[in-house]
A and B are shown apart, each in its own frame.
Chain A
Amino acid sequence: MKFRFQPGQQVRVDNREESGHVRTPDYVKGRRGLVLEVRGIHPDPTDLARGGLGLPYRCLYRVLFEGTEVWPGDKGDPLRLVVDIYENWLTSAETVE
């Protein structure tokens, strides 16, 4: 299995609703972050929760978000959030928007 993203790459979390045992919290949906670390391949949580084998397996990343990106309008006390996100929730945000 090939990892689509590498540490240091900019990514954006999909802003979508999905039913199931979703592990992507709403507060980072649609937000842009930086891949901090690639953390291996793990069973799909929704399939596992339904009693499946966890297929398809997912690449997992630790993604670092600036506090001001997650909470726009904050005065910018130094805050960063690191959230574990599976690859099927991420798209590249490297290209110029």
Chain B
Amino acid sequence: MATTHDHGDHTHDPIEHGEHLPDPEIALLDDAIRELLYDKGIITAEEVQRCIESMEARDGGVNGKRIIARAWTDPQFRQLLLSDAPAALAQLGFALDGPEFIVVENTPKIHNVIVCTLCSCYPRALLGLPPSWYKSKEYRARIVREPRNVLREFGTEISLDVEIRVHDSLADLRFMVLPTRPPGTDGWSEEQLADIVTRDAMIGVRYPQA
């Protein structure tokens, strides 16, 4: 089954088919409101730019990678991350404001996956902007209904003796998955481990590969 696939001139993840460009009317409205806020002195263009830059700096889950690698190498940190994520993140210098943050751990018996069925809530504070498939109606509808099939399309086979646990983050909580450390990584440094952690692994749709 294809996972990320190639159309000759571009590649994309499964489920991205059928995504639409932003509605031009909405884009226009967005511009108009932003201009108004600038004119009235409520926000400045520099502030917006800073927000965009800080969001883009988290793209690909650079912060999340560090957190997962630390959890794989430091059992005490892992325990704290699972019981009180903000306290653990503070140790790494992340002070999160906004929604509460919860880390859920994959085990031999439970595979966790994250969705927001009502919109596109996502742990942006750590992982940046969500991938477009995460926001697609198809992913949001199917991952709660037939998660095994959806994960198979991502190339992730979950055996039938493992529970799939879907976390629908649609209120005041945000989730991130702590994937299982892959075999063959004994003795690896934290930096090496961080390199193999992917955004998709922290959403729960793929495994990290050694």
Residues of A bordering B, CB below 8 Å: 23, 25, 27, 39-40, 42, 45, 60, 62, 70-71, 77-86
Which one, B117, B162, B168, contacts A82 given CB within 8 A?
A: B168
Return the chain A residue nearest B166 by Cβ: A81
Bound Cα distance from A18 to B100, whole angstroms = 25
Bound Cα distance from A25 to B143, whole angstroms = 14
Whether A84 lies near B163 (C-beta < 8 A) is no
Bound Cα distance from A71 to B145, whole angstroms = 8
Whether B171 lies near A60 (C-beta < 8 A) is yes
Residue B97 at the chain A interface, CB threshold 8 Å: no
Assess A27 versus B117: contact at CB under 8 Å? Given A78-B164, A80-B163, A81-B166: yes
Whether B168 lies near A39 (C-beta < 8 A) is no
Nearest CB of B to A60, in Å:
6
Residue B165 at the chain A interface, CB threshold 8 Å: yes
Chain A interface secondary structure, helix, strand, loop or mixed?
Answer: strand
Whether A23 lies near B170 (C-beta < 8 A) is yes
Whether A81 lies near B144 (C-beta < 8 A) is yes
Residues from chain A with Cβ under 8 Å of B170 in the complex: 23, 25, 83-84
5 A-B pairs closest in CB distance? A84-B171, A78-B163, A42-B172, A83-B168, A23-B171
Assess A42 versus B171: contact at CB under 8 Å? Given A23-B118, A25-B117: yes
Contact flags B125-145 to A (C-beta < 8 A → 1, else 0): 000000000000000000011
Residue B46 at the chain A interface, CB threshold 8 Å: no
Bound Cα distance from A45 to B170, whole angstroms = 11
Contacting A at CB under 8 A, from B144-176, are 144-145, 147-148, 160-173
Residues from chain B with Cβ under 8 Å of A71 in the complex: 145
Nearest CB of B to A59, in Å:
11
Give 28 pairs: A residue, B residue, CB < 8 Å, sorted on A: A23-B118, A23-B171, A25-B118, A27-B117, A42-B172, A70-B144, A71-B145, A77-B160, A77-B164, A78-B164, A79-B147, A79-B163, A79-B164, A79-B165, A79-B166, A80-B164, A80-B166, A81-B165, A81-B166, A81-B168, A82-B165, A82-B166, A82-B168, A84-B168, A84-B170, A84-B171, A84-B172, A84-B173
